Each structure stands twice: as C-alpha cells, then as structure tokens.
Amino acid sequence: MALKKDSNSLGSKQEKSRNEDSSLQEFKNLENKKEIESQLLEVSKGDDNENGFLDFGFNQSILNSLINKGYKNPTPIQKAAIPELLLGRDLLGQAQTGTGKTAAFALPLIEKLTDNKELNAKVLVMTPTRELATQVAESFKSYSSESRNFKTVAIYGGTDYRNQISALKRKVDVVVGTPGRIMDHIRQGTFKIKDINCLVLDEADEMLNMGFLEDIEWIIDQLPENKQMVLFSATMPSEIRNIAKKYLNDPAEIFIKSVKKETQLISQKFLYVQRHHKLDALKRIIELNNDGVIIFVRTKLLTISIAEALENSGHTVAVLNGDIPQNQRENTVDRLKKGFINILVATDVAARGLDVERIKLVVNYDFPFDKETYTHRIGRTGRAGRSGEAILFVNQREKHFLRNLENSTRTKIEEIKIPSNKTINEKRMEKLIDNVNESSIAKDENEENKALIIDVLDNLKEKYSMNDSNIAMAAINLVIGNKSFFVNDDDTWINKQNNTDRNRSNGNSNNRMRNSNRRNNYQNDSFETYKFNFGKFDGVRVANIISSICNSTNINGRSIGKIQIFNDYSLVDLPRDLHRETKNKLKKIKVRN
Ligand code: AMP
C-alpha cells in the first residue's frame, strides 16, 4: 500500500475542468462518439468499480492510449504519484519495476507537455542501463501514441551517435538515456538542455551501484536550476536519501511495499545438480515447461551452446547476450512477446529490464552473483499480476550461497527434484491424451468430408480386418512419428543429486552475500586482478571503467570487484572464471574513448 506524506487533493479543480472541457470538445468531433463513450465507461469503471484514470483529468489522447494498452485502473504507485507530479511537485518514490512506476511518471509528464511546440527537450529521464532506457522510452512512446507530434528520443551507449544526433536536432519532448551517453551529448552540444524543466532518476540505487554518482551530479549541475525532480529507487540506502536531500525540494514521498507482493506471485524453487549434469537437468525441466521461459547463464558462449542444445531437442529458442546488436535484441524480445520464440537464453546484462508478460518460468542455470541479480532475474516472471515460477540450479559448492540467498531475500526457496523418466513420460502421456481429445473435438469438417473419413475407417476394417483399437493405435503412432515416445535414458544419476542434504552445508559465516557493501562482498579467491593502461592522468573514474567493461563484455556491473585507479594504470578485480573471448574483449576496451 502507498504511504504518502504531505498528500494533496487530486490535481487542481481548475485544471481538471479545463481538461474535461477540451475532452468534451474532442468528443463532439468524433464520428464514433458512442464507441469512445462506451470505452471510456470501461476505463472509468475499472475492474472493481473504481474511478479508473478519469479522476486525474488526463486529456483524451492519453485516455485513448490507455484504452489501447488495456489499462483500466491505476496501480497504487500511479494513484499516489500522478496527482503530485501533475501539481509540479518533486517526488521521492521507493518502488520496483513491475509496480507500474514508469506510467506513474510518464503519464503526468506527457499530460503536462500537451501541445508543446518548442524544439528543445523539456524532460530528461536517466536510467542505469540501455535496456531500461529503451524500455522507458518505449513506454513514453506508447502512452503518447495518440498525442499529436509528441517525440521521445532514447540515447544510450553501444549504438551509433549519428541517429541519436539527428533525432535530437528535430523537435523533442522527452529524452531518456544512460548517464555516460547523456554526458557525451551535453559536452558535444548535440543535446540542448536549456529548456529541461523536469529530471527523472529511474532506478537510482542501481545507478549508484554502477558507480554513476559523479556523472549524475555533473549532469544535474548542467541542467537549469528550477526544475521538477523525480527520484525512483527500489531501495532507500542513505546515499539515495542524501541525493534526495541535496537536490529535491520538499518532495512528496511515496513508498510502495510491492516487493513481497510481487515475489509472492513467483514460486521460488531450487534443485541440486552437479555441473556435468546441468544441461541434462535443464532439458528435463524444459520438457515439462517450454512455454515462455528465460534461462540465465553467466557467459555469452553458454547462451549459444545451450540454445543449440535446446533447439536440437525441438524447442524454439533465441539468445540474448551483449554481442547481439541492439536492433536484433529488440526483434528477439518482440518475437518472444508474440510467441514465435518460447525460450530465451540470456546473460544478466542483456536481459536487464526485460518485460515480457508471458514468461512463466525463469531458470537460474548459473548461480547469480548476488541477491540483486537473483531478484532481478526472477522478476522477469510474475509480471503484471500473473504468477510465475523460478528454478535455481545449485551445485555442491554453492550450497551455502543458497542459504545466504534465502536469508537476505527472507524467502524460503523450496527444493524440487530433477524430473525423472517416469515424470517426463507421465507428462508426455497427459499431453498426448489432451492432443488426441482436442483433435477429436476440433475437427470441423463438413458432412461430405466426414463421410469420406468414415469410408477410410470402413476400408481399414474390411480390407485389413482392423478393429477400432487397432486403428486408434495406428493413428497415435502416426502422430508420434518415428522417434521413441517414451524417454528411457539412464536417469539413475538423478537420485544421486537429489540425495544431497541441504542441511549438511556448513553455511560459511563469511558468506559473500551478507555484506551490504557489494564491492567488498566477495572473497579474493573468486577474483582475478586485471591491470589496465589508463588511470587518473587520463581522467578516468570508477563509473567510466564499470560502464566500459559492462558495455564491451557480458560482465555484469555487480560482478565487478574492487577498482583501484592509480596515476597511469588501474587495477580491477573481475570474476575468475571469465571466458577467453571475454578476456580478449577486455584487452581492447576503451574508456572515455
Ligand atoms: P513497470 O513497473 O513500469 O515496469 O510496469 C510493469 C508492467 O505493468 C508493464 O508491463 C506495464 O505495461 C504494466 N502496467 C503499468 N500500469 C498498469 C496499469 N495501470 N494497468 C495494467 N498494467 C499496467
């Protein structure tokens, strides 16, 4: 529930009635008035006869876009934040993705920019990653899809500057971007910021985790002084409170306690599996559930080999990793949304911010580096109020991490067993029965065709003396094809994994996840120190190093350890198990060009 400080009444009455007047005017011009009216009634009634979005006084174009999106009622964060933002107040919000926070700030900001004809951007939204930037920009575009001449531009690293520069030259209302690229454009004068009157910091804690504090402060200092400031963060550590104190002016504070609710919808499970049996275990899990799955692995190479293995087993699979160009990634996500692909094998960085409602299962094939990565991964399912399942693969050495993860997330993760041949065969039989039953009902042939099929049956009976059950068996064999229907691979290894008693793990008290200071979390033996030929003399800062490493390789910002910057070189602790290909990329990375 929302806990609001200094709450105000919904918007100003004047503004509301002005909006209602103009909405009415638009109504008169519409030929399909009745249609729109009935849709509006839908919006206003909502699911539980609440007031829907009408109370905010949004203009007709926004209401139409909400109808298109199928939104009926504002979520708690939207109820709390929209009125405050419409009034022009600063806002400090604690909320995670999945709560509807993007619409909570996008809708009022679009409303306030209705009929904006000026060339320069008015709103800047800063996000920690390019994935989130794309997602937030897409949200702005869809909420403003019915608003004439409303322009949102996304600017983030890893893509060509030219398109971004030419988009910024034309009329822009909202710019969404990552700190590094925003700074570059400001410095080059390609992003004109003199008219920015609102700044949104989205996932501020994540930006701090990635070392962007100095960049954020630099950007804030460049922007005009009198601007509305909005800060959203999933957690509220003291660093975020300090930023809020420093830059926000008497903000409305909104706290949405959604995490528990959200993860409650996700049933969290784990299974013990030794490294060399992981792929087999995965195939067995996928056999039982292959409709909307994301599998998280640690390296790009693994995304490819696993996708190939699953494809060979007959599944529709795609990969999402740092090597895949941005436009191809977008295409992959789109195909996943539309159901052309059922399974995605991804690295953490590539799947940041991914929002696909049909994901039913998240498989943590490789153990996540920390609690935040785990929470982010499993949050890819259970979207928009749906339920989902998350399965974590755990090997002998990771047992104590499991217990730490349970402690830090305050969740009991339930143990499940790797599906045996018996379980899989039962599932196959169930599916076959359903399929046969469905095709007996669904065939909608005309009488003439039905008579022809009965002829076929009569023929089989007379010519080959087959009875009904012989014919049925033959038909089922045709459906099954040449392959053996039942799996009978050796599955004795499964019991050996399952006999591992989780309580035998001694739960190392110097565990890696307990310490809240992530960079000091890891024991030295999980890292190797890399030396890079840039340092203070090159003007390099921690944030530059992290973003270059994350953007050039598949290494997740969270898995980067200690960073020490000396005058002409820097030392960076990186995970010990990096792939050769990643190491080659590291040799070539450039920081600040
Ligand atoms: P967010 O927290 O902004 O990442 O949004 C999470 C998901 O909720 C997205 O898929 C949104 O499209 C969806 N969403 C946001 N607001 C609403 C709403 N009022 N009704 C239904 N779905 C919504």
* 383: CATH: 3.40.50.300
- What residues pair up with 563 in beta bridges, in sequence order? 572
pLDDT at 417 (0 to 100): 92
Lookup: tokens for 358: 């049909």
Q: Residue 263: which pLDDT band, with cuts at 50, 70 and 90?
A: low
Residues 6 or more apart in contact with residue 8 via CB below 8 angstroms? 83, 84, 87, 89, 252
pLDDT at 80 (0 to 100): 95
Query: Is the residue at 3 inside a domain?
Result: no
Q: Which atom of ligand 1 is nearest to the CA of 353?
A: 4
Residues 6 or more apart in contact with residue 452 via CB below 8 angstroms? none
In the reported structure, the alpha carbon of residue 286 is separated from the centroid of ligand 1 by a whole-number distance in angstroms of 28
3-state secondary structure of 29: helix
**Strand 228-233 versus strand 198-201 pairing type:** parallel
In the reported structure, the alpha carbon of residue 82 is separated from the centroid of ligand 1 by a whole-number distance in angstroms of 14
Do 34 and 87 lie in one domain? The reply is no
pLDDT at 116 exceeding the cut of 90 = yes
Residue of 55, 65, 69 best suited for mutating to test ligand 1, as the one with most atoms within 8 Å of CB: 69
Residue whose Cα lies nearest atom 22 of ligand 1: it is 71
CA distance linking residue 36 with residue 34, whole number of Å: 5
Task: Provide the number of structural domains found in the chain.
Answer: 5
pLDDT at 379 (0 to 100): 87
Do 466 and 345 lie in one domain? The reply is no
Q: Which atom of ligand 1 is nearest to the CA of 135?
A: 4
In the reported structure, the alpha carbon of residue 363 is separated from the centroid of ligand 1 by a whole-number distance in angstroms of 23
Do 191 and 266 lie in one domain? The reply is no
Query: Is the residue at 493 inside a domain?
Result: no
Q: Residue 416: which pLDDT band, with cuts at 50, 70 and 90?
A: very high
Query: Is the residue at 507 inside a domain?
Result: no
Phi, psi of 506, deg, nearest 5: -85, 0
Q: Which atom of ligand 1 is nearest to the CA of 139?
A: 12
- The percentage of the chain sitting over the pLDDT mark of 90, rounded to a whole number, equals 43
Residues 417 and 498: beta-carbon distance below 8 Å:
yes
Q: Does the pTM exceed 0.95?
A: no
Query: Is the residue at 502 inside a domain?
Result: no
pLDDT at 264 (0 to 100): 62
Query: Is the residue at 559 inside a domain?
Result: yes
In the reported structure, the alpha carbon of residue 383 is separated from the centroid of ligand 1 by a whole-number distance in angstroms of 8
pLDDT at 269 exceeding the cut of 70 = yes
pLDDT at 99 (0 to 100): 83
Q: Which atom of ligand 1 is nearest to the CA of 53?
A: 19
pLDDT at 375 (0 to 100): 87
Do 293 and 435 lie in one domain? The reply is no
CA distance linking residue 375 with residue 234, whole number of Å: 11
Residue whose Cα lies nearest atom 16 of ligand 1: it is 100
CA distance linking residue 271 with residue 132, whole number of Å: 31
User: How many CB atoms lie under 10 A from the CB of residue 583?
Assistant: 13
Q: Which atom of ligand 1 is nearest to the CA of 97?
A: 2
Q: Which of 62-71, 510-519, 577-586 holds the top average pLDDT?
A: 62-71
pLDDT at 135 exceeding the cut of 80 = yes
pLDDT at 82 (0 to 100): 97
Do 122 and 148 lie in one domain? The reply is yes
Do 221 and 121 lie in one domain? The reply is yes
3-state secondary structure of 50: coil
DSSP type of residue 445: -
Do 411 and 293 lie in one domain? The reply is yes
Do 49 and 133 lie in one domain? The reply is no
Give the mean model confidence (pLDDT) for residues 159-166.
92
- What residues pair up with 295 in beta bridges, in sequence order? 345, 363
In the reported structure, the alpha carbon of residue 143 is separated from the centroid of ligand 1 by a whole-number distance in angstroms of 11
Do 427 and 472 lie in one domain? The reply is yes
Query: Is the residue at 291 inside a domain?
Result: yes
Of 255, 279, 306, which marks where a domain is finished? Answer: 255
Of 58, 83, 99, which marks where a domain is finished? Answer: 58
pLDDT at 526 (0 to 100): 67
CA distance linking residue 563 with residue 542, whole number of Å: 7
In the reported structure, the alpha carbon of residue 74 is separated from the centroid of ligand 1 by a whole-number distance in angstroms of 9
Ligand 1: lining residues by beta carbon, under 6 Å = 71, 73-75, 78, 97-103, 355, 383-384
pLDDT at 323 (0 to 100): 87
Which string of DSSP letters, residue by residue, matches 279-336? HHHHHHHHHH--SSEEEE-S-HHHHHHHHHHHHHTT--EEEE-TTS-HHHHHHHHHHH
pLDDT at 441 (0 to 100): 58
Give the mean model confidence (pLDDT) for residues 82-99.
91
pLDDT at 304 exceeding the cut of 60 = yes
Q: Which residue type does 483 have?
A: K
pLDDT at 77 exceeding the cut of 90 = yes
Q: For the chain, how many helices (H) and strands (E)?
A: 23, 18
pLDDT at 5 (0 to 100): 35
Instruction: State the Rg of the chain over Cα.
Output: 28
CA distance linking residue 360 with residue 344, whole number of Å: 12
pLDDT at 202 (0 to 100): 95
Lookup: tokens for 542: 């921690």
Higher pLDDT, 264 or 341: 341
pLDDT at 521 exceeding the cut of 50 = no
3-state secondary structure of 71: coil
Residue of 77, 110, 202, 355 best suited for mutating to test ligand 1, as the one with most atoms within 8 Å of CB: 355
Q: Which of 148-152, 158-162, 234-238, 519-523 holds the top average pLDDT?
A: 148-152
Domain with 235 in it: 75-255
Q: Which of 322-336, 431-445, 515-529 holds the top average pLDDT?
A: 322-336
Residue whose Cα lies nearest atom 14 of ligand 1: it is 100
Q: Residue 106: which pLDDT band, with cuts at 50, 70 and 90?
A: very high
Q: Residue 91: which pLDDT band, with cuts at 50, 70 and 90?
A: very high
- What residues pair up with 152 in beta bridges, in sequence order? 174
Mean pLDDT of the chain: 82
Give the mean model confidence (pLDDT) for residues 411-422.
90
pLDDT at 11 exceeding the cut of 60 = no
Do 351 and 430 lie in one domain? The reply is no
pLDDT at 207 exceeding the cut of 80 = yes
Residue of 62, 63, 72, 75 best suited for mutating to test ligand 1, as the one with most atoms within 8 Å of CB: 75
Higher pLDDT, 473 or 166: 166
CA distance linking residue 59 with residue 22, whole number of Å: 8
Give the mean model confidence (pLDDT) for residues 475-497.
78
Residue of 48, 102, 135 best suited for mutating to test ligand 1, as the one with most atoms within 8 Å of CB: 102
Q: Which atom of ligand 1 is nearest to the CA of 96?
A: 2
Q: Residue 252: which pLDDT band, with cuts at 50, 70 and 90?
A: very high
pLDDT at 33 (0 to 100): 40
Query: Is the residue at 495 inside a domain?
Result: no
Q: Residue 593: which pLDDT band, with cuts at 50, 70 and 90?
A: low
pLDDT at 331 exceeding the cut of 60 = yes
- What residues pair up with 389 in beta bridges, in sequence order? 267, 361
24-28, 102-106, 527-531, range with the lowest pLDDT: 24-28
pLDDT at 37 exceeding the cut of 60 = no
Residue in 411, 393, 408 with CA at minimum distance from that of residue 512: 408
- Indicate if the alpha-carbon torsion angle 544, 548, 551, 557 is positive or negative: negative
Do 184 and 48 lie in one domain? The reply is no
Do 266 and 186 lie in one domain? The reply is no
Q: Residue 46: which pLDDT band, with cuts at 50, 70 and 90?
A: very low
Which CATH number fits the domain that encloses residue 534?
Answer: 3.30.70
3-state secondary structure of 574: strand
Query: Is the residue at 491 inside a domain?
Result: no
